[in-house]
Amino acid sequence: MRYLFHLSTVPKYFDWFDNDWDKIKEFAKEHHMDGVEIMIHNNYDIKRVPDDFAYGMHLRFWPMWLDFWNRDFYAVANTVGENDQIKRMYGGMDPQCLIDQYREQYRLAKELGVKYMVFHVSHVINQDTFKWEYDYTDKEVMEATIELVNMAFPSNEDGPMLLFENLWWPGLTYCDPELTKWFIEQINYKNKGFLLDTSHLILTNPQISTEDQAVDYMREIVKGLGETSSYIKGMHVNKTLPKNYMSKNHLDKLEKYKNAKNQWDKINILKDHIGNLDIHKPFDHSAIKKLIDDIKPEFCVFEVSPDTKNELSDYLNRQNKALARG
């Protein structure tokens, strides 16, 4: 099993290491990490990434993409805005642009030499995140994802593993074993599998308030998948305990979001809301080791969300301690 931490090529993180990969590698060694799962932003020069250090690559994700894919431009205009805003979000006005961008990401992944790629299977309209009411079913999101993936990724190549990640919004959640099995069987790309994100799975149960409860719940979900669980090749390990926040009524935040004066205010309200749900904190309880031992993934990624380098160090240390590593 390879232990990794998630790293995005944005100034927030790279400034911590003076944009020096040698310092990133030294930091990884100090924290008993084998390398990183990387997310490429801002046309980053991937030639700078050291060989045999980036094991995974997180692909792009548009949280609300299904209306665009289905060419429902009336709905897209209602959620995204005018044509210039649509082009800015999706890279064009034709759904073909999504296929083209994933083909380019696939090319980058092969050039980087990563072992796996991560693809989110989900769709949600911003406003719906406040009220837990959705326009699409899990299967409808899965069907569109199958269509997109089978058009974007070649079925006749043995490229990096394409691992599909769960969220708590419509799409892949792992809560329906038959649907989960059906989904992976429809993907034509040969080297395929799942990546289980622990916080995202926890968020499918709003009653969870302790780490013990979280682990027990996740182990039951994985057990319920039966043989399909063998497709889980990677994990994003992080914690959220949603009961307190999810038990509240958030319609007041929805009204603030709707009435925000500009797009930046809306983004900040949404980021605060999602940040209170998917907090990306480390597990502190040793119970999490039981889930990892159940799954035995090839890649265990500490996907945490720190505000400083010292906080990143603390998060990695805490989760290492919970797993009796180091």
The CA distance from 1 to 221, in Å, is: 22
Is pLDDT at 129 greater than 80 in this prediction? yes
Domain spanning 60-297, CATH architecture: Alpha-Beta Barrel (3.20)
Is pLDDT at 10 greater than 90 in this prediction? yes
| Mean pLDDT, rounded, of the chain | 96
**Per-residue pLDDT at 43:** 87
Q: pTM value?
A: 0.97
The CA distance from 129 to 140, in Å, is: 18
Task: For residues 243-272, give the mean pLDDT.
Answer: 93
Task: For residues 147-170, give the mean pLDDT.
Answer: 97
Q: How confident is the model at residue 263 (pLDDT cuts 50, 70, 90)?
A: confident
Q: How confident is the model at residue 201 (pLDDT cuts 50, 70, 90)?
A: very high
- Strand segments (E) across the chain: 2-8, 35-39, 54-58, 116-120, 161-165, 192-197, 232-236, 299-302
Domain range annotation of the chain? 60-297
Between the two ends of the chain, the Cα-to-Cα distance in Å is 15
**Per-residue pLDDT at 42:** 80
**Residue-wise pLDDT tens digits, 214-226:** 999 999 999 999 9
**Residue-wise pLDDT tens digits, 73-82:** 999 998 998 9
The CA distance from 78 to 92, in Å, is: 17
**Residue-wise pLDDT tens digits, 71-111:** 999 999 989 989 999 999 999 999 999 999 999 999 999 99
Considering only residues 262 and 34, tell me which one the structure prediction assigns the higher pLDDT.
34
Q: How far is CA 135 from CA 22, 109, 118, 171, in A?
A: 47, 33, 25, 12
Q: Is 117 exposed, middle or buried (0-12, 13-18, 19+ CB in 10 A)?
A: buried
